[in-house]
Every structure is written in structure tokens, then in C-alpha cells.
Amino acid sequence: MASIRYRLLRNTISKRRFTTDPNFKLICGLEVHTQLCTRNKLFSLSTNDPFASISKPNFHTSYFDIAVPGTKPKLNYECVLYALKLASALNSDINLNSQFDRKHYFYGDQPQGYQITQHYSPIAKGGYLEMFGDIDRIKDEKKRINITQLQLEQDTGMSHYITGDNGAQSMIDLNRSNVPLIELVTEPDFSHVDQVRAFIKKYQDLVRQLKISTGDLETGSMRVDVNVSINDYPRIELKNLPNTSSIVNAIKFEYQRQLKIIKSGQADQFLKHQETRGWDGAKTVKLRSKETTIDYRYMPDPELRLITLDADVIENVRKILPESSDVKIRSFLAEPFNLTVKDAKMLSISSQLSKLYNNEEVKQFFIETFHEYQKNAPNEVRSKLVVSWVLHELLGNLNKLNIPLKEFLQILPPTKYSELIVLVDNGDITSSSGKLLLFHVLKEFKDSNYIKKTEDVDFQGLIRQFDIGALSDMDKSKLEKECKTIIAEVDNPKLIESIKAGKTKAVKYLVGQGMRKFQGRVKAQELQRVFQDILNINDK
């Protein structure tokens, strides 16, 4: 019962249209913790695998990670390089002399008694992430979120609470202890939840593109704390938000909660101090208030030297950065591609890590195939068709047959692959036949252990051999006859009635029958047209 109520409440929060009162401005700032996917941990040579915990708790731990007295930290410079890549991509000012500080607090999963972080002199300050109305789906045409700072720090271990025969127990797993993190702190520049949603997505895409983190919220690889305030009232910090919808719903809830307090004149009592709250899935709940705020007694870590960088490091890091996703997307939105935002993003942002191909190779293949297709396109250029043949058909088959793109290019380089797309575009074969043909060619190629070459692929010959050419105009009368038979064979009285009434659903059913009968040699649109003609239905 409780869980049903819970779900109902969640639904009301997310479905209700959220608007802010213009006199009570929403102000929001984020603190984002991102685990770096370096080989080793931040200050030890243990393997950096925070997710080993399920099968092997406390497995990837060195004496330093479990804080055996007398062990000392040794900085892993790979983490510094990752931080520099991120700082550079965000246009931050890189600090040539940054340092580590100790942030003291006691907790079971923090055996050192302090966390090594960067408080006084972080690796980078300033910079920004820009979002756009069209690309990032925000209401403003453009919105810049300024970055306060980026700091390197250690992750803590994890506590697991279980209730067993011996009562409640707290188990500590230190696999995550000393895993490298970057904390990104933004300025309180967000004024709407859609900006927060877009920022998180864009930041996730960025760390994935830079290959510095998996960026997953679900696994805790990325964790977002949100600070929310209204006008000049104190900020409330929200923690323990496991995914984007919790983040968005918690902000909406918190804004409304604060607004109610302010409007009812109770701000002096309930909104006087900063406070940290959590999210229970339906509402924000108080975790601690200002009075119980911990004094972390920050102090420079005497066991770690300054991170001193040469000035040319900044320039060298910039050189190894990949092209920005926004630039790539914009180039696909423009001539000659004119792609939709969705397709442009799919080609520009790597959401999927595959051993068979990387995003850059796919992008390059698309561009070259597009240009080849454009040279021979029978009608107006249909970029959507090329996108679909590259992103869905090509990648789908590579995954299905486990063929690396590198091998694929030996047999179907852009010049050859575009031939297939032109055949489909020209109506020489239907797209279903084209798909079968592609699968056949690739399957043979794989079975032959990749010995075939481009010259061995003769699409025209294969179309004749398998007799899969689209039905030509000469066959039109035959087509009509067959369609009439399909209608005559319907024996369900209800369906006959809806066919007579020209119901869309009924026509769809007939088209399905036709597709089966002609085994994909006739296009669905063509069949629909013939059925509509026979039934005397005007295309609406």
C-alpha cells in the first residue's frame, strides 16, 4: 500500500507542469563528483575498479587504501592528465602549482580520518560549459554555466547495511577507497530545471568523449549534489540523488517547499540557515542543519608535494583534445548534410563504447559515404536515408556478426556502400531486400575469414541471382490483382467492415499481408497506395 502511494506521489511530481513564480527566482548550483577511469588509484598502485565490490569486497586495496599507519600517498600522474583534459575542454584556468589538502571527518568507510582533496589551491578554476536551445533542448537560445573550480580528490569506501541473524550490521568495503575523483563546482547560474538536466547530460557526454570516466549516474560513477535557493534566502544542499529524474524532481519539490515557507512568512524560522537535505523518492528530508555542520579543519597535506606543471603542458593537452561535440553537431546541421538534431547528435556523441568501431571512425565513414551517395543520388539528396543505413543497418550488422569496422571497410568502403544506398533510393530494390543483401554479403565475408575484396561484391549480380529486384511498372497490374485477392481472402466479418469503411488500421493489416506475400519486394508505401486505390480511399 505504502509503495503504491509512493509511486502515485512520484508521478504527480513529475507529470505536473513545473513553473517558477517570476517574483521568486530559482537559483541553483551543482557539485559533481566524477570517478576517473584510470588504471590505478589516486595515491596507490591498486587497481582502480570500484565495481569489483559485489564479488570481491576489499580486494583492490593496498595498505595505503586501508590507511595502515605509516603508509604514505604517492600521486598517480595519470589522474592529473585526466583532470587537465577536462579543465582544458571546459576552458578553465589551469593552476601550474596546485596542492592537496586534508578534509577531516570520521566515518567507517573513511579509515584515514580525513579525505585528501584540493581546497585552497585546486587544479583549475573558472571556465564554462555552454548549452544551446536546439542542441541541448533548453528554453533559452543559449545558456552559459560558469565553473567555479575543478578539484582532484579521493573517493571513500562504501558502507553496506544488512540485517541478518545477528541483528543489524554495517559492512565496510574499501574497494572504492582512494579511487580518483574530480569534483566540479559550478557557479549558482542555473535558473531552470531544464538547464540542470541538459548540463548533466552534456557533462556526461563530455567525460565520455574525453575517455576519462564512464559518467554513469546509475553506478555512482558520477554523483551530483544540487544547491537550491530562492532570491536571497540561504541555499539548501540536496544529496543522495541517484539519477537524473531524482535530481529534477528533487529540485522541483525543493523549490515548491521553499516557496511555501517564504510565502507563508515563515522563512525566519525554517529558512534561516543553510541545510543539507536528502531525497527519499517523493520529498526532500533534512539530513543536517547549519548548527551540526562539521568543521573539516582543512590543512595542506604535508606528505604530498605541490603538483607543479610546466607552462607548455597546457598547450600540449589542448593539442590532444578531440574536436568539440558542438562543433561536430553544427557541421551536420548545416549544408550539405542538413541532418536533424537527433541524427547529428547520434553521429557526434559516443554514447556506446564498442570494441568494433569508435565514434570518430563511424563519423568519418558517414561523411565519405554521404559524399559518394550525393554524387549518384537519383532524386533529391535524402540524408536521412544515409544516416539510417550507417547508424542502423551498418552498425547493427557489425554488432550482430561481430565484424570490426576496419575489416568491413576492406569489402564495403564508402564508394561501394553508397552503391547499395543508391539502389534502394532509386527503387531498384526495396529497403527490406537491401537489408537482406547487406546481411548476406557480410555473412559470407565473415565466413570466408575476411578474404573477400571490394571487387568481389557485385550488387547488381546478386539482385539478379536472388531475384530480389523490386517489381517493375510492368508488374503493376499483377500487383493490383494480387492485392484484390488479399482483400477477397479476408474472412473476418469485423475486418471486412472496417476495410469497407476505409479504416487506417484495416489498410495497415492489408499492407502487412501484402508485405508477406511479396516478401519485401514491394515497398509498404506502394502497397498502401494500391490498397487505397482499390478501396477508393483518399490519402488523408
> What residues line the site for ligand ATP (CB under 6 A)?
27-31, 185-188, 227-229, 235, 237
**Identity of the amino acid at 301:** D
**Contacts with 61 (C-beta within 8 Å, 6 or more apart), sequence order:** 46, 174, 175, 177
What is the closest distance, in whole angstroms, from the C-beta atom of residue 33 to ligand ATP in the complex? 9
What is the closest distance, in whole angstroms, from the C-beta atom of residue 405 to Mg ion in the complex? 41
Number of residues that bind Mg ion (CB under 5 A): 1
What is the closest distance, in whole angstroms, from the C-beta atom of residue 236 to ligand ATP in the complex? 8
Q: Taking the CA of residue 192 as centre, how many other CA atoms within 13 Å lie in the half-sphere pointing to its CB?
A: 18
Closest to Mg ion by CB, 35 or 325: 35
What is the closest distance, in whole angstroms, from the C-beta atom of residue 185 to Mg ion in the complex? 6
What is the closest distance, in whole angstroms, from the C-beta atom of residue 135 to ligand ATP in the complex? 23
Considering only residues 20 through 59, tell me which ones interact with Mg ion, judged by CB under 5 A: 31
CA distances from 484 to 270, 275, 470, 512 (A): 75, 73, 20, 14
* Chain position whose Cβ is nearest to Mg ion: 31
What is the closest distance, in whole angstroms, from the C-beta atom of residue 258 to ligand ATP in the complex? 10
Q: Measure the CA–CA gap between 311 and 299, rounded to whole angstroms.
A: 27
Closest to ligand ATP by CB, 28 or 362: 28
Q: For the CA atoms of 490, 492, 493, 496, what is the dihedral angle to 10 degrees?
A: -40
78 binds, among ligand ATP, Mg ion, none (CB under 5 to 8 A by kind): none
65 binds, among ligand ATP, Mg ion, none (CB under 5 to 8 A by kind): none
235 binds, among Mg ion, ligand ATP, none (CB under 5 to 8 A by kind): ligand ATP
Q: Which is it for strands 275-279 and 284-289: parallel, antiparallel or unpaired? A: antiparallel
Closest to Mg ion by CB, 34 or 325: 34
The DSSP secondary-structure symbol of 181 reads E
Q: Measure the CA–CA gap between 514 and 523, rounded to whole angstroms.
A: 10
Closest to Mg ion by CB, 53 or 117: 117
Closest to ligand ATP by CB, 228 or 422: 228
E strands present in 282-422: 284-289, 299-300, 307-308
**Identity of the amino acid at 21:** D
Closest to Mg ion by CB, 31 or 205: 31
341 binds, among Mg ion, ligand ATP, none (CB under 5 to 8 A by kind): none
420 binds, among Mg ion, ligand ATP, none (CB under 5 to 8 A by kind): none
* Residue 187 engages Mg ion in binding (rule: CB under 5 A): no
- Neighbour count for residue 173 (Cβ, 10 Å): 20
Give me the phi and psi of 269, to 5 degrees please. -90, -45
User: Would you say the C-alpha torsion 213, 216, 221, 225 has a positive or negative sign?
Assistant: positive
Closest to Mg ion by CB, 233 or 296: 296
What is the closest distance, in whole angstroms, from the C-beta atom of residue 39 to ligand ATP in the complex? 27
What is the closest distance, in whole angstroms, from the C-beta atom of residue 183 to Mg ion in the complex? 6
**Contacts with 232 (C-beta within 8 Å, 6 or more apart), sequence order:** none
186 binds, among ligand ATP, Mg ion, none (CB under 5 to 8 A by kind): ligand ATP
| SS3 (DSSP) at 104 | strand
Closest to ligand ATP by CB, 193 or 228: 228
What is the closest distance, in whole angstroms, from the C-beta atom of residue 435 to Mg ion in the complex? 51
Closest to Mg ion by CB, 31 or 140: 31
Closest to ligand ATP by CB, 103 or 521: 103
229 binds, among Mg ion, ligand ATP, none (CB under 5 to 8 A by kind): ligand ATP
29 binds, among ligand ATP, Mg ion, none (CB under 5 to 8 A by kind): ligand ATP
Whether omega before 322 lies within 30 degrees of 0, making that bond cis, reads: no
Q: Which is it for strands 275-279 and 180-186: parallel, antiparallel or unpaired? A: unpaired
486 binds, among ligand ATP, Mg ion, none (CB under 5 to 8 A by kind): none
- Neighbour count for residue 21 (Cβ, 10 Å): 13
* Chain position whose Cβ is nearest to ligand ATP: 29
Question: Exposed e or buried b for every residue in 313-336, given b needs 16+ CB within 10 A?
Answer: beeebeeeeeeebeebbebbbeee
- DSSP string over 372-398: HHHHH-SSS--HHHHHIIIIIIIHHHH
What is the closest distance, in whole angstroms, from the C-beta atom of residue 334 to ligand ATP in the complex? 35
CA distances from 139 to 201, 272, 387 (A): 16, 32, 27
| SS3 (DSSP) at 14 | helix
Residues making contact with Mg ion (CB under 5 A):
31
